[in-house]
Structure 1
Amino acid sequence: MNLKKASATEYMDLKKICTDAYALNFHDHWNEGGLEWYLEQEFSVERIMADLADDTTEYFFIEHKLKQVGFLKIKTTSSTDLSFDHSVVLEKIYLLPECKGLGIGKWALGTLIEKLEARGTKKLFLAVIDTNLNAIAFYEKLGFSYHSKTRLEIPYFKEELKGMHRMVRELNSSK
């Protein structure tokens, strides 16, 4: 397995894995027209290129058996209510559905945590749908704990799925 930082020259590969992994997992979370709208907002060529040019944003390909099977996206700045020094937000981590349950997500997140600790990051935040008990349990097993409640304010997303748990993991920073 490999966690490889995406470069600007790989924007089309990144767009493909982002779109595929997200759409295959979350197509049923949207009201009519919403999935297409969201994919254009988050994973258009323009958005991906802008993110890759942003010093506070990083994408990583999750590779398994020499294939891209998922991705993750982190941001070193966060909303003002989470603006702690030396913290990072895990904005997205998605795997292709056929790769779930193989330990790939656990490995990718563990590898990311090692990289962040080596950089001196103190905390890793994420948000997860509060009714997604499997994902919450997954994050708890990896050392994350409940931080606060938030809400996803995004058009077309099903109302019953907008409640979010913000979770945090303290990191053992080497700096």
Structure 2
Amino acid sequence: MKLIEAKEKDIPLIQDLARRSWESAYVGIISSDQINYMLGEMYSKDEILKHFENPNYHYYLIFDENNSSFEGFIGYEHNYEQYTTKLHRIYLVPESKGKGFGKGAIDFLKEKLSESNDRRIILNVNKENNAKKFYESQDFKVYDEVVLDIGNGFVMDDYMMEFLIHL
């Protein structure tokens, strides 16, 4: 596995990986209308370009060197809050789950904290998403719950999780 820093030219690939992942991960959790709405809002070219313009926001593509294929991506933002990096996005295509790519990406992110003064990683995960168990296996803990109105009559009903760096 190799993590490759994404560039503007990779936006269509990020969009494709997101759609493939979401269509598997969220079926039965949120409606297809909400999936399409969120993908359109969160993964539009303009939205991703805003992230690329933010020097604290980073995208990395997860590349499987054995199969020469892109298996997912990670998007995170240093200094989201004081001493805090936010893991905004980590998605794997369905056929790559359970192969260590997620753990590798989380380990990579933990190492990247050294590039900032951050000592904490936070993320949101849908309360019905099985990924919560994965995050717990990587030493993340639930510290809050939130229901966010995301527009168009939709909400995100999430756990907020954190990983603390022990200095």
TM-score range, shorter chain: 0.7 to 0.9
Distance 1:158 1:58, change over 3 A: same
User: Counting strand residues as a fraction of each chain, which structure ranks higher?
Assistant: 2
Match of 1:22 in 2: 22
CA-based RMSD of the aligned residues comes to: 2.3
User: Do the aligned partners of residues 16 and 32 (structure 1) sit closer, same or farther apart at CA in structure 2, a change above 3 Å counting?
Assistant: closer
Q: Which has the higher helix share?
A: 1
| Structure 2: distance between partners of 1:156 and 1:27 | 19
Question: What is the identity percentage for the equivalent residue pairs of Structure 1 and Structure 2?
Answer: 23
Please, which of 146, 154, 169 is the counterpart of residue 142 of structure 2?
Answer: 146
Asked if 1:126 corresponds to 2:123, the answer is yes
Structure 2 contact 78–118 (Cα < 8 Å) conserved: no
Q: Which runs of 5+ in 1 are unaligned?
A: none
TM-score (norm 2): 0.84
Long gaps (5+) in structure 2: none
Aligned to 1:69: 71
Aligned residue runs from structure 1 range 46-61, under 5 A = 46-61=46-61
- Whether 1:99 aligns to 2:101 is no
Query: In the comparison of the two structures, how many residue pairs are matched?
Result: 165
Amino acid at match of 1:62: I
Q: Which structure is higher in RCO with an 8 Å CA cutoff and minimum separation 6?
A: 1
**What is residue 3 of structure 2 aligned with on the other side?**
3
Distance 1:45 1:29, change over 3 A: same
Q: How far did 1:113 drift?
A: 0.9
Letter in 2 for 1:48: I
Summarize deviations over 1:5-44 as a string: whole Å, max 9, x none.
Answer: 2112322222222232223322444335332222211112
